[in-house]
Amino acid sequence: MSSRLIDAGYSLSVYNRTKSKGEAVVAKGAIWCDTPRQVAESSDIIFTIVGYPKDVEEVYLGKDGLIEGASSGKIFCDMTTTKPSLDIMIASRLAEKGAHMADAPVSGGDTGARNGTLSIMVGCSDEVFQALLPCFEAMGKNITHMGPVGSGQHTKMANQIVIAGTMCGVSEALVYGAQAGLDLEKMVATISKGAAGCWTLDNLAPRVLKGNYEPGFMVEHFIKDMGIALEEAEKMELPLPSLALTRQLYLAIKAQGMGRKGTQVLVKALESLKGKEIL
């Protein structure tokens, strides 16, 4: 995503908690900063995308964090999938310094990030959305202003609820087809052209057929997202039984040491229920 912004002509100051992960964009001309605060002080617009809510807190609220470098007129945009309440709280803290906040989680996986085709769900004021839109257009194709801060995160939760159910269905279909002796490549090609067609069939099922369980999106992060969705649903007294079941399957996968594999590794949880390797 940083590389896409550089390609679009933007000058970047960058920070990553693991410095080696910033080497590629520094090689393309980005300026390395030693702390989040330095990024905030040297930038007009600041994007963040990290792993967990605790990481968002650390980057914004910790020592030498972004808020320490915030000042009037700067725009901060958190693209992490995190708790809506957390981004709303950070927005309030930034407003005390005259700075602005947006939450803009994304969907589309590693492929979407590389190709600049991410779906971006944005929560902020109309003015902030218009200021951020050219940057979003460098990173994504489906960019939607959902409402005030927090709305982007709630939309991402809806997205993850759909993905959880779809991933479960695709995994069960692959295991079923394999057990029935079908040519799985033909099966996937056939059903993806009908009512079952979806992003997961097009992008992740082929990885499973090649035995590729490396992450576009990690199991650990998906478990985190499903947990946030269930927590938000509980606040609304809303039961989500399918999501709860899928999260339990992924927790079983993590317990087997596969938490840093891609979400398509769910087929292994279903195989374990059968008691033998099927795919």
| Nearest CA-CA partner of 186 in 161, 206, 207, 168 | 206
Angstrom distance (rounded) from CA 135 to CA 176 = 43
The catalytically annotated residue of 74, 83, 156, 254 is 156
Q: Would you call 100 exposed, middle or buried from its count of C-beta atoms within 10 A (0-12, 13-18, 19+)? A: buried
Angstrom distance (rounded) from CA 20 to CA 41 = 22
Active site residue 156: yes
The angle subtended at Cα 73 by Cα 70 and Cα 79, nearest 5°, is 65
Burial 240-265 (b: 16+ CB within 10 A, else e): beebeebbebbbebbeeebbebbbbb
Angstrom distance (rounded) from CA 195 to CA 133 = 33
Catalytic positions, please? 156
